[in-house]
């Protein structure tokens, strides 16, 4: 017969983290309450909302074939649809010209644009928008994550809009293409939009997920980045000095930490007499001033019996034949990392890139791990290759530079890189009371 044993619980041997000294009773209040990003939206106005829903129901929901034709059609199809909406408002709603204009703008955004997401798309402080389901929409603003108070009318309303946005960007809705992305370069005045889609076939909750990354069409000025807290005047002078002096750069951090924003500004610092190849999956990096930058992005061509891919590795390999002085990789995630090590060794060219990592030194380990996907080099051999040219590591979080290291040589006896600490934010933080 099973005999119950009484166990005595021992006290855990640990010290609370310095900045997490909170009472047990405060945990839920501090960590389990989402911060809300409040959105000012015309959809929250009850009368406008009711009139719009009536308009959408009678024109959009009841005429899916006509909507599809207009999305994929000509300007005349667009004019025809908008005239139909005007006629409906005239016959069914006794509203003035101002109210009619508002309703038609909402209608156009619903059919051809970003619908209820429009206020987030236009907000200057919002960098990322994520839809988990029809009534669960989050955003990142100024490097901080929020839950928004936006919601679609229903799951059906969201699915209908999702279908329209997929058609607009010529994405497919089949299981073979459950993960897709595209760049909207025309739909918004001030931003390019990178749109990543996960169809419900691959999502365990069986709902479509969509992530939108906003990229300003006009680069942030160095003054703006200073005011936003990313860096200061001394750091800007440091970056200019190192770029002109031939240093390569690897910028690390989590998603939305500001890596691409910083890199986008840095490529304009590359001397104009040097050639540059920028390879990226989506068109995040650009320059309107540098005369010798060649921009390329990956692409995939699908045919009935074959699929042709042009990868970052393909573009970098071709660049080696074109006498390129600077290789820029938008985001390093796989075998393209090998080029970062071998290029400097074989040609003397330098590279700039971003990578996901938890620290500046950790970014080198991550880079080497990616390179080993397509090579037999040891970690030590790969790391030693980085000493062929001067090299700087920058780590970021929450739209701010946290750490700057320079590779300071190879320690033969210890078989590891040595670093020069240029900057660490922790050294400049005031201690908590």
**Distance from the first to the final alpha carbon of the chain:** 57
CA–CA separation, 247 vs 168, rounded Å?
42
CA–CA separation, 241 vs 139, rounded Å?
36
Is 148 domain-assigned? yes
250 and 188 housed in the same domain: no
Neighbour tally for 156: CB within 10 Å? 11
89 and 124 housed in the same domain: yes
| Predicted local distance difference test score (pLDDT) of residue 432 | 47
Neighbour tally for 337: CB within 10 Å? 27
Q: Is 415 left (phi over 0), alpha (psi -120 to 50) or beta?
A: left
Look at the chain and report how many structural domains it folds into: 2
- CA neighbor of 278 nearest in space, from 268, 288, 290, 286: 286
CA–CA separation, 283 vs 127, rounded Å?
15
Is 233 domain-assigned? yes
194 and 330 housed in the same domain: no
Is 385 domain-assigned? yes
Residue 59 has pLDDT above 50, yes or no: yes
188 and 244 housed in the same domain: no
CA–CA separation, 214 vs 230, rounded Å?
18
Is 27 domain-assigned? no
284 and 374 housed in the same domain: yes
- CA neighbor of 68 nearest in space, from 152, 156, 170: 170
| Predicted local distance difference test score (pLDDT) of residue 202 | 86
| Predicted local distance difference test score (pLDDT) of residue 24 | 56
CA–CA separation, 295 vs 114, rounded Å?
28
Is 54 domain-assigned? yes
Is 306 domain-assigned? yes
327 and 423 housed in the same domain: yes
- CA neighbor of 422 nearest in space, from 341, 147, 401: 401
203 and 283 housed in the same domain: no
Range 306-318 average pLDDT: 69
109 and 175 housed in the same domain: yes
Q: By residue range, what is the domain housing residue 380? A: 222-428
Q: The CATH number of the domain where 408 resides is what?
A: 3.40.50.300
Range 200-210 average pLDDT: 89
Q: What is the CA radius of gyration of the chain?
A: 26
298 and 252 housed in the same domain: yes
| Predicted local distance difference test score (pLDDT) of residue 301 | 63
Neighbour tally for 126: CB within 10 Å? 22
CA–CA separation, 324 vs 350, rounded Å?
9
Is 9 domain-assigned? no
| Predicted local distance difference test score (pLDDT) of residue 239 | 96
Across 16-25, 70-79, 90-99, 145-154, least confident range: 16-25
Among the candidates 166, 188, 216, a domain finishes at: 216
| Confidence category of residue 150, pLDDT binned at 50, 70, 90 | very high
350 and 408 housed in the same domain: yes
Share of the chain above pLDDT 90, in %: 41
Among the candidates 161, 192, 216, a domain finishes at: 216
Is 23 domain-assigned? no
Q: pTM of this prediction?
A: 0.73
Angle (CA) 348 353 357, round 5° = 125
423 and 371 housed in the same domain: yes
Range 126-145 average pLDDT: 91
Q: The CATH number of the domain where 191 resides is what?
A: 3.30.450.380
Q: What is the pLDDT of residues 418-431, one digit of tens each?
A: 999 999 998 877 65
Residue 224 tokens, joined: 């703006």
Among the candidates 157, 183, 216, a domain finishes at: 216
Across 40-44, 301-305, 330-334, least confident range: 301-305
Share of the chain above pLDDT 70, in %: 87
176 and 235 housed in the same domain: no
What HEC string does the chain produce?
Answer: CCCCCCCCCCCCCCCCCHHHCCCHHHHHHHHCCCCEECCCCHHHCHHHHHHHHHHHHHHHHCCHHHHHHHHCCCHHHHHHHHHHHHHHHHHHCCCCHHHHHHHHHHHHHHHHCCHHHHHHHHCCCEEEEEEEECCEEEEEECCEEEEECCCCCCHHHHHHHHHHHHHHCCCCCCHHHCEEEEEECCCCCCEEEEEEEECCCCCCCCCCEEEEEEEECCCCCHHHHHHCCCCCHHHHHHHHHHHHCCCEEEEEECCCCCHHHHHHHHHHHCCCCCCEEEEECCCCCCCCCCCCEEEEECEEEEECCEEEEECHHHHHHHHCCCCCCEEEECCCCCCCHHHHHHHHHHHCCEEEEEEECCCHHHHHHHHHHHHCCCCCCCHHHHHHHHHHCCEEEEEEECCEEEEEEEEEEEECCCCEEEEEEEEEHHHHCCCCC
């Amino acid at each position: 017969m099973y005999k119950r044993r009484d166990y005595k619980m021992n006290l855990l041997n640990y010290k609370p983290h310095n900045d997490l000294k909170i009472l047990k009773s405060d945990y839920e209040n501090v960590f389990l309450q989402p911060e809300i990003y409040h959105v000012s939206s015309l959809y929250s106005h009850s009368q406008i909302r009711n009139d719009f829903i009536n308009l959408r129901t009678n024109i959009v929901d009841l005429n899916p074939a006509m909507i599809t034709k207009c999305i994929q059609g000509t300007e005349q199809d667009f004019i025809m649809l908008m005239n139909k909406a005007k006629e409906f408002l005239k016959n069914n709603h006794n509203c003035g010209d101002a109210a009619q204009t508002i309703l038609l703008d909402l209608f156009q955004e619903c059919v051809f644009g970003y619908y209820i997401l429009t206020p987030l798309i236009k907000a200057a402080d919002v960098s990322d928008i994520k839809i988990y389901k029809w009534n669960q929409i989050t955003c990142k603003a100024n490097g901080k994550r929020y839950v928004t108070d936006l919601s679609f009318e229903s799951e059906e309303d969201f699915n209908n809009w999702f279908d329209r946005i997929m058609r607009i960007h010529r994405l497919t809705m089949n299981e073979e293409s459950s993960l897709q992305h595209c760049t909207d370069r025309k739909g918004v005045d001030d931003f390019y939009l990178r749109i990543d889609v996960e169809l419900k076939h691959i999502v365990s909750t069986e709902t479509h997920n969509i992530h939108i990354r906003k990229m300003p069409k006009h680069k942030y000025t160095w003054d703006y980045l200073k005011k936003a807290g990313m860096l200061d005047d001394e750091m800007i002078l440091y970056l200019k000095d190192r770029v002109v002096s031939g240093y390569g750069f690897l910028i690390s951090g989590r998603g939305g930490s500001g890596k691409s924003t910083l890199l986008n500004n840095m490529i304009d610092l590359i001397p104009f007499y040097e050639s540059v190849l920028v390879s990226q999956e989506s068109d995040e990096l650009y320059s309107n001033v540098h005369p010798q930058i060649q921009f390329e992005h990956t692409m995939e061509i699908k045919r009935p019996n074959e699929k042709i891919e042009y990868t970052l590795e393909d573009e970098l390999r071709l660049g080696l034949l074109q006498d390129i002085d600077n290789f820029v990789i938008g985001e390093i995630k796989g075998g393209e990392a090998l080029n970062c090590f071998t290029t400097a060794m074989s040609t003397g060219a330098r590279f700039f890139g971003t990578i996901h990592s938890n620290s500046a030194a950790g970014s080198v380990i991550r880079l080497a791990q990616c390179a080993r996907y397509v090579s037999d080099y040891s970690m030590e051999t790969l790391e030693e290759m980085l000493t062929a040219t001067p090299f700087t590591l920058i780590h970021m979080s929450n739209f701010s530079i946290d750490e700057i290291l320079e590779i300071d040589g190879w320690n033969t006896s210890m078989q590891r890189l040595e670093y020069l600490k240029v900057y660490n934010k922790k050294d400049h933080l005031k201690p908590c009371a």
